Structure formats: structure tokens, C-alpha cells
């Protein structure tokens, strides 16, 4: 057998460079931090994070807006063409968007099967091979005119297909559903508001920017039962039996 050649590594004088810590953070850390903040902590103006947008757009391409439900595992597999972060992560995202899980005030996915409950740690969701999903009717407003050059498209991670940078939603979705995100040095927690009150407030604000938003947008609205208690005119006789 031929003898292995000995290799030597030349160490140059400038192999180790001195740099101010502030310059290192600005050059290396800040771009990473901003990327994580934009992708994870703060939703875009359409109200979605990239993982939500990739999933819903995949279901749109699968004709699940008008077609019958399909197995969740089918959706997860197709979504990996846009989101390479693993099937478990994609399915967890899908679960949160379903009507069955109850996490959203306005669910985007019509579901069949056990998707657990957002308010219970003991009620775990079933495996994707057992559950079925399709896009909910409200997604007609999410994908309205998407084929009419209303939003920009970019290549996916391997340049094999394109995906939208935003979804052309026709209602203020960013406030209609709750959003929670944690990133580098920043976090966001956006509560949900009643869709009818949001639309009424938006219309009034377009007509007159000086209006008092609290007159029509009274308080947050949640998908679970809750009471909104204020300091005005509150007593036992006025306590509601339940409020959604």
C-alpha cells in the first residue's frame, strides 16, 4: 500500500485577527438576530409567520380550498418542499391552525380527528396518519386574487418552486388571531380581537383617522371562554354567564 503523505498546515501571522467586540456583534450577530426576529417573533402584515404561510400555501396548491379533506401526513409531506425543518415541526404548526385545537379565534384549517386542545396539556393530538384536514372557508379571503400579481414570489430553499412573500388577505388577520413569538432579544404577544369589531373599526378609521378606536374595538376576544373585567360598572349582578 502506498504510504500516506505527511501534510503540514501553515499558520500565517494574520491567522488570528484582533477585532473590537462591537464590530464582531455588528458584523456577525446582528444579521442573525434580525433574521430570527423577522422570521419568528414578529408576524408580517398579513398576520402570518413563514411557517404558517408555507403550510397554508401548500394546502392551497393541493386544491384543499375546494376539495375534500386529506390526511394530515400528506399535507406535512408536501409542505416539506417549502419548509425543510422537519415533519414534526410542520405538523405542530398545522395542529395550531385547526378548528379542532381551538387555539385560534378564526381557524384556517377545517379538521377531522383528534387535534388535542390548546388549553389542555393532557389532551395530546393524534398522529398525522389518523387526522384529516382541508382549508377553512375563511381562506377564500386569505388567497383572494393571489394569481393576479397581488404579491411577490420568491424561490424556495432549493430553487425548485416559488412561494409568496405575503398572502393577499382581505381582512386585518394580524389582529384577528393571537400570535406569540420569541427571538433574539425580542418577543411578541399579540392578542386576538373580534373580527366584526375589527372590520367596523377599520372602516371607521379609513374614513376618519381621529376616531377613538376603543369605541368599536372594545377589548380582546379569545377562542376560549373568558371574562374581561374592567373597573367600570362591575358588580356581581352584571357578571356574564360565559363569554367566548
pLDDT digits (tens, 9 = 90+) for 105-159: 999 999 999 999 988 888 899 999 999 999 999 999 999 999 999 999 999 999 9
CATH of the domain at 129: 3.90.199.10
Q: What percent of the chain has pLDDT over 90?
A: 54
Could you identify the residue written with the cell 438576530?
A: 33
16 part of a folded domain = no
Residue 44 lies in a domain: yes
Residue 107, domain member (yes or no): yes
242, three cell numbers: 360565559
Cα torsion 123, 125, 130, 135 to 10°: value is 120
Per-residue H/E/C for 106-162: CCCEEEECCCCCCCCCCCCCCCCCCCEEEECCCHHHHCCCCCCCCCCEEECCCCCCE
Question: pLDDT tens digits for 147-200?
Answer: 999 999 999 999 999 999 999 999 888 999 998 888 887 888 889 999 999 999
Q: Which among 125, 93, 129 is positioned nearest to 109, based on CA atoms?
A: 93
Q: How far apart are CA 106 and CA 192, in angstroms?
A: 9
Q: Which residues are catalytic?
A: 130
Q: Are residues 117 and 229 in the same domain?
A: no
Mean pLDDT comparison of 141-145, 219-223, 236-240, highest-scoring range: 141-145
| 115 and 222 assigned to the same domain | no
Residue 183 inside a domain? The answer is no
- Does residue 103 share a domain with residue 48? yes
Q: pTM for the full model?
A: 0.80
Same domain, 160 and 200: no
User: What is the C-alpha separation between 155 and 82, in angstroms, rounded?
Assistant: 9
115/202 same-domain check: no
Residue 170 included in any domain: no
Q: What total number of domains does the chain contain?
A: 2
Identify the domain containing residue 234 by its residue range.
193-244
Amino acid at each position: 500500500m502506498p504510504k500516506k503523505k505527511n501534510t503540514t498546515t501553515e499558520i500565517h501571522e494574520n491567522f488570528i485577527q484582533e477585532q473590537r467586540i462591537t464590530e464582531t456583534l455588528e458584523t456577525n450577530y446582528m444579521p442573525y438576530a434580525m433574521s430570527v426576529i423577522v422570521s419568528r417573533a414578529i408576524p408580517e402584515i398579513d398576520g402570518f409567520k413563514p411557517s404558517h404561510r408555507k403550510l397554508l400555501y401548500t394546502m392551497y396548491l393541493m386544491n384543499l380550498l375546494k376539495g375534500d379533506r386529506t390526511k394530515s401526513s400528506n399535507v406535512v409531506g408536501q409542505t416539506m418542499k417549502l419548509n425543510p425543518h422537519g415533519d414534526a415541526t410542520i405538523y405542530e404548526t398545522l395542529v395550531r391552525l385547526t378548528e379542532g385545537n381551538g387555539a385560534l379565534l378564526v381557524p384556517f384549517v377545517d379538521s377531522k380527528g383528534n387535534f388535542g386542545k390548546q388549553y389542555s396539556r393532557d389532551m395530546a393530538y393524534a398522529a398525522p396518519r389518523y387526522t384529516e384536514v382541508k382549508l377553512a372557508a375563511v381562506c377564500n379571503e386569505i388567497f383572494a386574487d393571489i394569481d393576479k400579481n397581488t404579491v411577490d414570489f420568491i424561490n424556495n430553499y432549493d430553487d425548485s418552486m416559488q412561494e409568496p412573500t405575503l398572502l393577499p388577505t382581505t381582512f386585518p388577520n394580524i389582529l384577528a388571531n393571537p400570535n406569540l413569538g420569541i427571538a433574539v432579544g425580542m418577543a411578541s404577544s399579540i392578542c386576538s380581537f373580534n373580527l366584526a369589531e375589527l372590520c367596523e373599526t377599520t372602516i371607521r378609521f379609513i374614513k376618519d383617522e381621529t376616531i377613538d378606536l376603543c369605541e368599536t374595538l372594545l377589548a380582546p376576544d379569545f377562542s376560549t371562554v373568558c371574562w374581561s373585567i374592567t373597573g367600570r360598572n362591575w358588580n356581581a349582578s352584571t357578571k356574564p354567564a360565559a363569554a367566548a
